[in-house]
Structure 1
Amino acid sequence: MLERLEIETFLTLAEELHFGRTAARLQITTGRVSQVIKALERRIGGLLFERTSRSVRLTPIGRRLADDLRPLVAGMEEALRRAADAGRGVTGELRVAFLGEWTAPALLRAVALFGERHPDCRVDVREVQLSNSRASLLDGSIDVLLASFPFDGMACGPALLRERRVLAVAAGHPLAGEERLSVEVLAEHPVVQYPQVTSAGFKQDRTPDRTPSGRPVPKGPVGGSFSEMLTLVAMGRGVLPVGEHSRQYYPRPDVAYVSLHDAQPIERGLVWREGNTTERLREFVRAATDAAGSFHP
Structure 2
Amino acid sequence: MELRDIEIFLTLAEELHFGRTAERLRVSQARVSQSIKQQERRIGGALFERTSRSVRLTPLGERLRDRLRTGYGEIMSGIDEAAAAARGQAGTLTVGTMATQYQAIAAVLDLFRQRHPQCELRLREILPTDPLGALRAGRVDIGLLWLPIREPDLVVGPVLHTEKLVLAVACDHRLAGRDSVEMEDLGDYPVAFPDGPIPDYVWEAHTPAVTPAGRPIRRGLGVATLEEAFRATASGSVISPIGSDAAATRRRGDITFLPITDGPTLRYAPVWRSDAETPLVRAFVQAAADAQKTT
TM range (shorter): 0.5 to 0.7
Per-residue displacement from partner, 1:103-158 (whole Å, max 9, x unpaired)?
12234432321122233433233333346642221122221012222344232111
What is the count of residue pairs matched by the alignment? 215
**Residues 107 and 146 of structure 1 are in contact (CA less than 8 Å); yes or no, is this contact kept in structure 2?**
no
What corresponds to 1:36 in structure 2? none
Q: Report the CA distance shift for 1:94/1:146 in structure 2 as closer, same or farther (over 3 A).
A: farther
Alignment counterpart, residue 85 of structure 2, candidates 84, 89, 103 = 89
The residue that corresponds to 1:202 in the other structure is 202
Greater C-alpha Rg: 2
Structure 2: which 5+ runs fail to align? 1-76
Segments of 5+ residues of structure 1 without an aligned counterpart are 1-80
SS of the residue corresponding to residue 263 of structure 1 reads: coil
2:196 alignment partner, SS class: coil
Matched, 1:112 2:104: no
Separation of aligned partners in 2, 1:254 and 1:274: 43
8 A contact 2:165–2:264 mirrored in 1: yes
- What secondary structure sits across from 2:109 in the alignment? helix
Partner amino acid, structure 2, of 1:156: V
What corresponds to 2:166 in structure 1?
166
Aligned ranges 1:250-265 → 2 under 5 Å: 250-265=250-265
Q: Shift of the alpha carbon at 1:269?
A: 1.8
Is the 2:99–2:126 Cα contact (8 Å) retained in structure 1?
no
- Percent identity between matched residues is 27
Amino acid at match of 1:237: S
Aligned partner letter, 1:284? F
Q: Quote the residue 1:237 is aligned against.
A: 237
Q: 3-state SS of the aligned residue for 1:101?
A: coil
Q: Distance in 1 between matches of 2:107 and 2:219?
A: 38
Counterpart contact for 1:192–1:239, Cα < 8 Å: yes
Match of 2:221 in 1: 221
Query: How far apart, CA to CA, are the structure 2 residues paired with 1:107 and 1:84?
Result: 33
2:16 corresponds to: none
Show the counterpart of 2:125: 127
Whether contact under 8 Å (1:170, 1:256) holds in the other structure is yes
Residue 186 of structure 2: aligned partner: 186
How many angstroms apart in 2 are the aligned matches of 1:163 and 1:131? 18
**Range 126-135 or range 217-226, more displaced:** 126-135
Shift of 1:84: 6.6
Aligned ranges 1:1-297 → 2 under 5 Å:
86-90=82-86, 91-130=89-128, 133-153=131-151, 154-295=154-295
Secondary structure of the corresponding residue to residue 174 of structure 1: coil
Q: Tell me the secondary structure at the aligned position of residue 185 of structure 1.
A: helix
**What is the letter of the counterpart of residue 137 of structure 1?**
L
Give the residue type in structure 2 aligned to 1:129: L
Measure how far apart 1:86 and its partner are. Answer: 4.5
